[in-house]
Amino acid sequence: MKKIIVTGASTGIGYSTALKLAQDGHHVFAIARSEKNLKKLADESYDGIITPISADLTHNSGIDKISSSLNTIDSIDVLINNAGSLINKPFMETTIDDWLNQFNINVIASVQLIKLLKDKLMSGSHIVNISSMGGFQGSSKFPGLSAYSSSKGALTILSECLSTEFSGDGIAVNCLCLGAVQTEMLEDAFPGYKAPTSPNEMGEFISHFALTGQLFFNGKVLPVALNNPE
């Protein structure tokens, strides 16, 4: 049984990933702001264990709550940084507060959590950062997503940097840039668009990669997409 942390676990891809990992017999620490959705997730799981942690990763009080909740855990096998948000506004209408919000949730929250948990990540462990095709160099870009795509691009570079810094400790760091998945976030970005991939399908892929990807990849930014929209 692996001990695995999944952020953004109350909806969409994070919910499906956490559920799949628990159903495969692992102990999942599911982090999100919605206590109600996390309870539903825990109730739906079987075979494994889901420990819900309701916390806001963008506030120090949330980080402190996570630290306290994981105080008795000596080691963590996998950290999946999936939490994120999307602001869809034309560049000239995107405020500085919008930019700060995107970077706080999509980048700094992962930085905070990695720093908090670094000493619990042993040799052979795996950090998986969930980015977007919007943050993948050379991919198609879309109007209104400048702040979102820039923040996801920063997460890809962070992943490459940390893979180098942590290589001596045997900790692998990889980044998955996801394409279109039928989530609420996709609907916000592309109203009416129907994605070819469901959250359950992507959650199954991410769960498998999180458990085995470190055997084949380190420091890699990998596109996981069938088409252009992110």
What pLDDT was estimated at residue 228? 54
Distance from C-alpha of 85 to C-alpha of 103, rounded to nearest angstrom: 9
- 16-44: average pLDDT: 96
* Selection from 73, 62, 45 nearest residue 207 by Cα: 45
Band of residue 47 on the pLDDT scale cut at 50, 70, 90: confident
93 domain-assigned: yes
Please return the burial class of 46, using the count of CB atoms within 10 Å of its CB with bins 0-12, 13-18 and 19+.
exposed
- 184-196: average pLDDT: 80
- Write down how long the chain is: 230
Band of residue 227 on the pLDDT scale cut at 50, 70, 90: low
Distance from C-alpha of 47 to C-alpha of 70, rounded to nearest angstrom: 21
Largest CA distance in the chain: 50
229 domain-assigned: no
Distance from C-alpha of 159 to C-alpha of 132, rounded to nearest angstrom: 13
What pLDDT was estimated at residue 24? 95
Q: Specify which residues 79 forms β-bridges with.
A: 5, 127
What pLDDT was estimated at residue 31? 98
Q: Where are the beta strands (DSSP E) in the chain?
A: 3-7, 27-32, 49-54, 76-81, 121-132, 172-178, 221-224
C-alpha distance across the termini of the chain, in Å? 33
| Pair 116, 67: CB distance under 8 Å | yes
SS3 173: strand
Q: Where are the beta strands (DSSP E) in 33-139?
A: 49-54, 76-81, 121-132
Distance from C-alpha of 187 to C-alpha of 169, rounded to nearest angstrom: 40
22 domain-assigned: yes
* Selection from 85, 88, 82 nearest residue 188 by Cα: 88
Task: List all residues 6 or more positions away from 191 whose beta carbon is below 8 Å from its beta carbon.
Answer: none
The domain that holds 173 is classified in CATH as 3.40.50.720
What pLDDT was estimated at residue 192? 86
Mean pLDDT, the chain, as a whole number?
95
Q: Which residue has the higher pLDDT, 228 or 177?
A: 177
Prediction pTM value:
0.95
195 domain-assigned: yes
Domain residue limits at 133: 3-224
115 domain-assigned: yes
What pLDDT was estimated at residue 46? 80
Number of structural domains (the chain) is: 1
**Helices within 104-145 (DSSP H only):** 109-117
pLDDT tens, position by position, 62-97? 999 999 999 999 999 999 999 999 999 999 999 999
Side-by-side strand order, sheet with 172-178: 49-54, 27-32, 3-7, 76-81, 121-132, 172-178, 221-224
Band of residue 229 on the pLDDT scale cut at 50, 70, 90: very low
